[in-house]
A and B are shown apart, each in its own frame.
Chain A
């Protein structure tokens, strides 16, 4: 601050204004010493001029730094980075914003980012360096990297776990199921009425568990057995989904129609499954009146938002998040059969395609499912 005032006083004097050289020297001093960036001049490998911010970053006093070899502060493993950039600077190439670690007077390691440029200092070749402390950013980056890795690892583990249990539990379950059925087949009406009832509950329970395991396996396979993405025509995808549901659609006399649908980058088999589950859901939760399902798509920049709209029973808005959870059911098995995995599988497929899924609904009037998918091809670029 005192130097700034000094400068103002000097510029106010007409005789000083003439002395442009003196003024630029003062300007340099102000810029150099007041800069919030560590700034210094190195000549013959030693600090010749340093500012307060460099002293602050390095933990030394300014006069302690003068005359010391500049490379001495750099962590031994990182000295090559600094040398390479000094050479690049001498060749007139870019030597901006490279990062390395220094050791402070207090023996703390800090990450810094440096830029160097060749200058003349007292008529001899020198290097003008500027440096900022990026330790905080590096720590945050590292933490983020670690937690991303950790999340990926635990997700993969969880998928593998779900796959293994659902796969390996099928064998013993098949035994339970087959032998209770064999009991039922061979001993029905040969034991008493209680025995027949018990056996029938055991048979039903085993069958239901088999369906649940099968769905859980499907769910885990979205992540573990997905195909690489390719260009997929969504009109073909919806046609396939409708062909798979042909009998159900014909039985309830549903009108399923779609607008012009785009081509996207994705896993075709999974996209068929996605539409099939959503249309199948509409068929299952239809009202008395004829079911109408309309599929459309809207594109905004790289993202396509698909909507699947029906005039079914709708979903209470308080469940609009939880319907996508695994094994989540809003009705009893007697009202609507199912495992509660259909929409969870949809969510997993959409997320694998970098999108998200949601539902808006008016109970008693219908639901609209929305999901997003990244647009494929060069035309969106």
Chain B
């Protein structure tokens, strides 16, 4: 219960190369008036730099949740996922695969790489908004996790 009452503004990292998708996710995240700090990475390499606070990301916060697309240039989502889950400092950050693909092969691969869950973006906007809300609600308020500031 304390996690819910102590709910601070969360840092969410959106990793997606399509600005239209990023904006849509941002719109969905802001829809209910939830005030989270949203960060974006345009591809896998940027995401890894952000998470490891490299280069211009020297002061980047540690995200509470990562929303990861699969199909990206330079470094794809599967590789980003593998790097996160192999990194002792990052592996406990929940990674939600949020992608346009229904491909069963992608689904199997991501779970084998320890994705926390795999979600296909629905075509319908209202469904998408509901989906994003339930993802953030689940990972940021329902689930018991070690939280830096709350503890």
The interface of chain A, by Cβ under 8 A from chain B, is 167, 170-171, 173-175, 177-179, 181-182, 185, 206-207, 210, 225
**B27 on interface, CB distance cutoff 8 Å:** yes
Q: Interface extent on B, as a size class?
A: 10 to 19
Q: In the assembled complex, which residues on chain B have CB atoms less than 8 Å from the CB atom of A207?
A: 123-124
Roughly how many angstroms separate A173 CA and B124 CA in the complex, as a whole number?
11
A207 (CB) vs chain B CBs: closest residue: B123
Roughly how many angstroms separate A207 CA and B123 CA in the complex, as a whole number?
8
Is B24's CB under 8 angstroms from A178's CB?
Answer: yes
Q: In the assembled complex, which residues on chain A have CB atoms less than 8 Å from the CB atom of B58?
A: none
A217 (CB) vs chain B CBs: closest residue: B102
* 8 tightest A-B CB contacts, nearest first: A181-B125, A175-B20, A210-B123, A171-B100, A178-B125, A177-B123, A178-B24, A174-B123
0/1 per residue, B97-129, Cβ < 8 Å to A?
A: 000110110000000000000000101111010
Q: In the assembled complex, which residues on chain A have CB atoms less than 8 Å from the CB atom of B104?
A: 225
Q: In the assembled complex, which residues on chain A have CB atoms less than 8 Å from the CB atom of B125?
A: 177-178, 181-182, 185
Q: A170-B100, A174-B100 are in contact. Are A181 and B124 (CB under 8 A)?
A: yes
* Most central of A178, A179, A181, A225 by chain B CB within 10 Å: A178
Q: In the assembled complex, which residues on chain B have CB atoms less than 8 Å from the CB atom of A174?
A: 100, 121, 123
The interface of chain B, by Cβ under 8 A from chain A, is 18, 20-21, 24, 27, 100-101, 103-104, 121, 123-126, 128
B128 (CB) vs chain A CBs: closest residue: A178
Is B18's CB under 8 angstroms from A171's CB?
Answer: yes
Roughly how many angstroms separate A210 CA and B120 CA in the complex, as a whole number?
14
Report the minimal beta-carbon distance from A174 to chain B, rounded to whole angstroms.
Answer: 6
Apart from the given pairs A171-B100, A177-B125, 10 other A-B contacts in the complex at a CB distance below 8 Å: A171-B18, A175-B18, A175-B20, A179-B20, A179-B24, A182-B27, A182-B125, A185-B126, A207-B124, A210-B123
A-B contact pairs, 7 of them (CB 8 A): A170-B100, A175-B18, A178-B24, A179-B20, A182-B24, A182-B125, A206-B123
Report the minimal beta-carbon distance from B75 to chain A, rounded to whole angstroms.
Answer: 19
Q: In the assembled complex, which residues on chain A have CB atoms less than 8 Å from the CB atom of B18?
A: 171, 175
Q: In the assembled complex, which residues on chain A have CB atoms less than 8 Å from the CB atom of B21?
A: 175
Q: In the assembled complex, which residues on chain A have CB atoms less than 8 Å from the CB atom of B27?
A: 182
Q: In the assembled complex, which residues on chain A have CB atoms less than 8 Å from the CB atom of B124?
A: 177, 181, 207
Q: Which of A170, A171, A181, A225 makes the CB contact (< 8 A) with B126? A: A181
A180 (CB) vs chain B CBs: closest residue: B125
Report the minimal beta-carbon distance from B23 to chain A, rounded to whole angstroms.
Answer: 9
* Most central of B20, B100, B123, B126 by chain A CB within 10 Å: B123
B129 (CB) vs chain A CBs: closest residue: A185
A213 (CB) vs chain B CBs: closest residue: B123
Q: In the assembled complex, which residues on chain B have CB atoms less than 8 Å from the CB atom of A170?
A: 100
Q: In the assembled complex, which residues on chain B have CB atoms less than 8 Å from the CB atom of A225?
A: 104
Roughly how many angstroms separate A207 CA and B101 CA in the complex, as a whole number?
17
